[in-house]
Amino acid sequence: MSDHAQHLQQLAAQQWLIPFFPLVAAAIQSLLPRSARRLSATLTILAMGMSCLLAARAFWATLPVGEQHDEVARAFFNFTWFRFGTTALEFGFILDPLTAGMALMVAFVGFWIFVNATGYMAEDENFTRFFCFLSLFAASMLGLVVANNLLLLFMCWELVGLCSYLLIGFWYFKPSAAAAMKKAFITTRVGDIGFFIGILMLYQHTGTLTLYNAEGTGALQQAGSLGQLAGWWGLSLAGTIALMLFIGAMGKSAQFPLHVWLPDAMEGPTPVSALIHAATMVAAGVFMVGRMFALFTANAGDWVMDFVMWIGCITALFSATIAVAQFDIKRVLAYSTCSQLGFMMMALGAGGLVAGQFHLLTHAFFKALLFLGSGCVIIGTHHEQDMRRMGGLRKYMPITFWCYLVGMLALAGVPPFAGFFSKDEILVATYHHNKLAWVLATAAAFLTAFYMTRQMFMVFGGTWRGGQHDAHGNETTGHDEHHGHAHHEPHEVSWNMWLPLVVLSVFAVFMGWLGTPWLAGNLFHHYLAPEMPAPEHANIVVVLSVVVGAAGILLGWLIYGRRPMQHAAEPDPLAGTLGGLFTVLNRKWYVDELYEATIVRATQALGTLFRAVDKLVVDGILHAIAWIWWGVSQLFRWIGDELIINGGFDAGCESVRGGGRLLARLQNGRVQTYLRVMALGAVVLVAIYFFR
Amino acid sequence: MTLTLGHYLGMSAILFAIGLAGALTRRNAINVLMSIEIMFNAGILNLIAAWHFRYFESLTPQLFAVFAVTIAAAESALGLALVIAVYRHYRSVNVEEMTALRG
């Protein structure tokens, strides 16, 4: 074993430290009083900083050195969690490029989101609770990333779900937030059933949930042989398991048709949205698919990869169309996240593991940037989220404007910003795999450029429309709790809110260079998957992606930039052109209404049916029996009771009742008194047992 | 210091005492429920400790513990449902006020 390999081994054994610090921070903060605001924020940020340093150290160690260019630097550390009879449940941590890159991204982006959150939440009275949940969120996501065991991964996966539930519903007193938190939890739960079935099947057929182990019997190391066995629905066994796992990823990463929870997750505070949309939660699904990629590709004949690609492709286009017609600044970004996640899944399905993961990383930076930017806008405009009542913010919030512009250009895929290179990789991978999917994805890229331009002009262009009265009944956001401030002019935010924007912008500009084919032959590809051949470059893809990006921005300028909105009540210029279609898009293709009409109604109908059965059949039987016995007892009453017993017993009964009344005093109805007597009795019994 | 069975039993006794004290003195029904859970776990800990120190050869205690955990989960779900039902009725979860079963 070489020195380098040994070093990796040591680091892998210390991987648990990365999620450990935020976890401890969360534990401490759960005990802090509400007033310990400064301490709480300091703890969270310090812990995250530690994680970030550790992740950076691990990342540094996985960078390719010297001669070993052709194999992945992978080290793992397994240990027995507990033994159950002859079966041992193993836990383990892994250190490989996939984990290291992801962990560094989560810790780094998370760190800056936390810094921003200190500003955004500055006026909230439950500040400590918020930071406690944030720490736990980061800890569970980091745990998910470093796990070398599917069970550990699943536990962290569920913890991530729990934290998102807690944070989406952080303002639980708002009914919409309470509904959104339930929706997020239940929708992802639908996917998790599939994930769990996949885990059980994997355990059944491989006998282990450890992904890699030194003996080569880990679940992923057996993927090849699983690919030879027959599974369900014409898939190989590996394909079936992969499909089940993918259903879990669909829930977590908000893929169509389980995407409905993500836009509603906007009800949480904006830093939470940034965290959910960039570093944690939705990234988990894409990461998991990347982690289990060996199962997806185990049998080349399986349709599971095509399924992944098409789901991703549909999501990418579908969500992009919805984003065009939204008015809430965060909702536009939410649907764009859906769409970008679709891009990632599509890349994975087209076999582009590197492209998908690279887009996951770059997207995390610029989407965190955009969300934090929208948070700054919301704070700067005194809790306004409706883009129609913004405008002209470029003048009032220059720093936010420039950072937001960088994020927007990165998302729209303008060279040389980060999003261009990663999206380009995805389009290249798809182009080689399936031409139709590539065309649809290019259309989605066009829409991306368009709706981001629309947002830029509505929020930052034109003049400030905030002070005007809004007579527009069409979906106004209900978040404005500070009506008294609404007439004030917007202002730039404090340094702890804009500093993260600046830092993330730097990455949004330069990070893409790591994955370009023109610089040292795609550094990121060599880092993540040196054993795979890099996809061949296709000029038509690059040219077309630049053209549609430019066209989208140009169209956005033509419609929204040339003549900015003058008044908040003015209808969207697009609404006139698209007519009814605009309403359909604004109402998100009526998917929520469809679910309401089908699944929710069906469940309610089933409940009503069971209630009717209960009333008619079960109660009917009970009442019939009761009537029969009542009749029988009447018979006995006439024959026996009235004649024989009543004569002499009444007096006796009276005395028994008196005794009963006396004893009834003991039954004071207080459970704890009974318990006390019981405990006393137990003590007496023990005493008798010992001192007899 | 090596951990002996006594340590585990002592820990379990402490847990049980904490739980009992909570169940007897707390007025909030949810706190009482939580205390009962602690007592539950003290019992399970006993079982597992005895198994760990090879007082049983079979796996029964461990299975038993898993069952107990499951039942505890079901029980707490039921308990919470009851608390909610009681709250709807009395507008309070104070156990001192739940005296409808007085003789």
Helix or strand holding residue A73 (H, E): none
Q: Please tell me chain B's helix, strand, coil percentages from 3-state DSSP, rounded to the nearest 5.
A: 75, 0, 20
Of the listed ranges A220-229, A367-376, B28-37, the one predicted with least confidence: A220-229
A672: nearest CB among B24, B59, B103? B24
Q: Which of residues 84-103 of A touch B (CB under 8 A)?
A: 84-85
Averaged over A157-186, what is the pLDDT? 88
The whole-angstrom distance between residue A40's C-alpha and the CA centroid of its chain comes to: 24
Say whether residue A662 is in contact with chain B using an 8 A CB cutoff. Answer: no
Averaged over A56-64, what is the pLDDT? 84
Say whether residue A652 is in contact with chain B using an 8 A CB cutoff. Answer: no
Is B101 in contact with A669 (Cβ distance < 8 A)? yes
Is A679 in contact with B101 (Cβ distance < 8 A)? no
Q: pLDDT per residue over A552-569, tens digit each?
A: 888 888 887 777 777 777
Q: What is the percent of chain A with per-residue pLDDT over 90, rounded to a whole number?
A: 9
Task: From chain B, pick out residues whose CB is under 8 angstroms from the CB of A675.
Answer: 23-24
Q: CB neighbours (10 Å) of residue B63?
A: 13
Amino acid identity of residue A200, one-letter, is L
Question: Which chain B residues touch A if contact means CB-CB below 8 Å?
Answer: 20, 23-25, 32, 59, 62, 95-96, 98-103
Of the listed ranges A285-289, A491-495, A530-534, B20-24, the one predicted with least confidence: A530-534
Nearest to A375 by CA among A199, A165, A114: A114
Averaged over B40-54, what is the pLDDT? 89
pLDDT at B35: 92
**Do residues A196 and A161 lie in contact, with contact meaning Cβ atoms separated by under 8 Å?**
no
pLDDT at A644 over 70: no
A670: nearest CB among B23, B25, B99? B99
Averaged over A530-544, what is the pLDDT? 75
Task: From chain B, pick out residues whose CB is under 8 angstroms from the CB of A663.
Answer: 103
- How near does any CA of chain A get to the CA of B18, in Å? 13
- How near does any CA of chain B get to the CA of A463, in Å? 52
Indicate the pLDDT class of residue A69, thresholds 50, 70 and 90.
low
Q: pLDDT per residue over A395-451, tens digit each?
A: 888 888 888 888 888 888 887 788 888 888 888 888 888 888 888 888 888 888 888
CA distances, A229 to each of A209, A239, A675 (Å): 18, 10, 59
Q: pLDDT per residue over A116-140, tens digit each?
A: 888 888 888 888 888 999 999 999 9
Say whether residue A666 is in contact with chain B using an 8 A CB cutoff. Answer: yes
Cα–Cα distance measured from residue A73 to residue A62, given in angstroms and rounded to the nearest whole number: 6
Tokens of A601: 């109604």
Is A663 in contact with B103 (Cβ distance < 8 A)? yes
Cβ contacts of A668 within 8 Å, gap of 6 or more: B99, B102, B103
Task: From chain A, pick out residues whose CB is under 8 angstroms from the CB of B79.
Answer: none
pLDDT at A485 over 50: no
Q: What is the percent of chain B with per-residue pLDDT over 90, rounded to a whole number?
A: 43
Is A670 in contact with B100 (Cβ distance < 8 A)? no
* ipTM (interface predicted TM): 0.77
Task: Name the residue of chain B whose CA is nearest to A660's CA.
Answer: B103
B30 φ, ψ to 5°? Answer: -70, -40
Helix or strand holding residue B86 (H, E): helix B60-90
- How near does any CA of chain A get to the CA of B46, in Å? 17
CA distances, A55 to each of A9, A213, A292 (Å): 15, 22, 21
Cβ contacts of A244 within 8 Å, gap of 6 or more: A194, A195, A197, A198, A201
* DSSP, residue by residue, A527-595: HH-TTSPPPPP-HHHHHHHHHHHHHHHHHHIIIIISS----TTSPPHHHHHHTHHHHHHHTGGGHHHHH
Nearest to B44 by CA among B65, B23, B59: B65
Of the listed ranges A244-258, A419-433, A583-597, B79-93, the one predicted with least confidence: A583-597
CA distances, A674 to each of A528, A670, B99, B102 (Å): 66, 7, 12, 12
Is B23 in contact with A666 (Cβ distance < 8 A)? no
Is B62 in contact with A663 (Cβ distance < 8 A)? no
Of the listed ranges A199-213, A271-285, A453-467, the one predicted with least confidence: A453-467
Cα–Cα distance measured from residue A311 to residue A304, given in angstroms and rounded to the nearest whole number: 11
Cα–Cα distance measured from residue B58 to residue A664, given in angstroms and rounded to the nearest whole number: 48
Cα–Cα distance measured from residue A84 to residue A99, given in angstroms and rounded to the nearest whole number: 29
Task: From chain A, pick out residues whose CB is under 8 angstroms from the CB of B25.
Answer: 672
Task: Name the residue of chain B whose CA is nearest to A661's CA.
Answer: B103
pLDDT at B62: 84
- Per the document, the length of chain B is 103
Cα–Cα distance measured from residue B26 to residue B95, given in angstroms and rounded to the nearest whole number: 8
**Do residues A210 and A147 lie in contact, with contact meaning Cβ atoms separated by under 8 Å?**
no
Task: Name the residue of chain A whose CA is nearest to B94's CA.
Answer: A670
Tokens of A658: 């008196």
- Per the document, the length of chain A is 692
Task: Name the residue of chain B whose CA is nearest to A663's CA.
Answer: B103
Averaged over A198-209, what is the pLDDT? 87
Task: From chain A, pick out residues whose CB is under 8 angstroms from the CB of B62.
Answer: 84-85
pLDDT at B39: 92
Q: pLDDT per residue over A138-149, tens digit each?
A: 999 999 999 888
Residue with tokens 């707390």: B26
- How near does any CA of chain B get to the CA of A82, in Å? 12
pLDDT at A537: 72
* DSSP, residue by residue, A78-134: EEEEEEETTEEEEEEEEESHHHHHHHHHHHHHHHHHHHHHHHHTTT-TTHHHHHHHH
- How near does any CA of chain B get to the CA of A86, in Å? 10
pLDDT at A522: 67
pLDDT at A465: 77
Half-sphere exposure of A336 (CA within 13 A, CB side): 37
Greater pLDDT, A645 or B1: B1
Averaged over A647-662, what is the pLDDT? 75
pLDDT at A472 over 80: no
For chain A, first and last CA: distance in Å? 68
SS3 of A298, please?
coil
- How near does any CA of chain A get to the CA of B66, in Å? 11
Is B101 in contact with A664 (Cβ distance < 8 A)? no
Task: Name the residue of chain A whose CA is nearest to B58's CA.
Answer: A85
Averaged over A343-348, what is the pLDDT? 90
Helices A435-460 and A329-349, axial angle in degrees (round to 10): 160
pLDDT at A482: 43
pLDDT at A477 over 50: no
Is A672 in contact with B20 (Cβ distance < 8 A)? no
**Do residues A133 and A23 lie in contact, with contact meaning Cβ atoms separated by under 8 Å?**
no
Amino acid identity of residue B55, one-letter, is Y
- How near does any CA of chain A get to the CA of B62, in Å? 8
Average confidence score pLDDT of chain A: 82
Of the listed ranges A63-72, A250-259, A576-585, the one predicted with least confidence: A63-72
Task: From chain A, pick out residues whose CB is under 8 angstroms from the CB of B102.
Answer: 667-669
- How near does any CA of chain B get to the CA of A155, in Å? 17
pLDDT at B12: 93
Task: From chain A, pick out residues whose CB is under 8 angstroms from the CB of B96.
Answer: 670, 672
Of the listed ranges A109-113, A598-602, B98-102, the one predicted with least confidence: B98-102
Greater pLDDT, A645 or A232: A232
B24: nearest CB among A84, A668, A679? A679
For chain B, first and last CA: distance in Å? 54
Cα–Cα distance measured from residue A259 to residue A338, given in angstroms and rounded to the nearest whole number: 7
Q: Which of residues 549-578 of A touch B (CB under 8 A)?
A: none
Cα–Cα distance measured from residue A285 to residue A304, given in angstroms and rounded to the nearest whole number: 16
Task: Name the residue of chain B whose CA is nearest to A670's CA.
Answer: B99
B100: nearest CB among A669, A675, A676? A669
Is B98 in contact with A671 (Cβ distance < 8 A)? yes
Cβ contacts of A608 within 8 Å, gap of 6 or more: none
Task: From chain A, pick out residues whose CB is under 8 angstroms from the CB of B90.
Answer: none
What is the set of domains in chain B, with CATH numbers? 5-96 (1.10.287.3510)
pLDDT at A500: 85
Q: What is the percent of chain A with per-residue pLDDT over 70, rounded to a whole number?
A: 92
pLDDT at A518 over 70: no
Cα–Cα distance measured from residue A350 to residue A360, given in angstroms and rounded to the nearest whole number: 15
Task: Name the residue of chain B whose CA is nearest to A679's CA.
Answer: B20
Nearest to A81 by CA among A3, A179, A147: A147
B96: nearest CB among A84, A670, A676? A670
Say whether residue A669 is in contact with chain B using an 8 A CB cutoff. Answer: yes
pLDDT at A218: 79
Q: Which DSSP symbol is given to B27?
A: -
CA distances, A263 to each of A273, A381, A445, A595, B62 (Å): 10, 22, 20, 15, 44
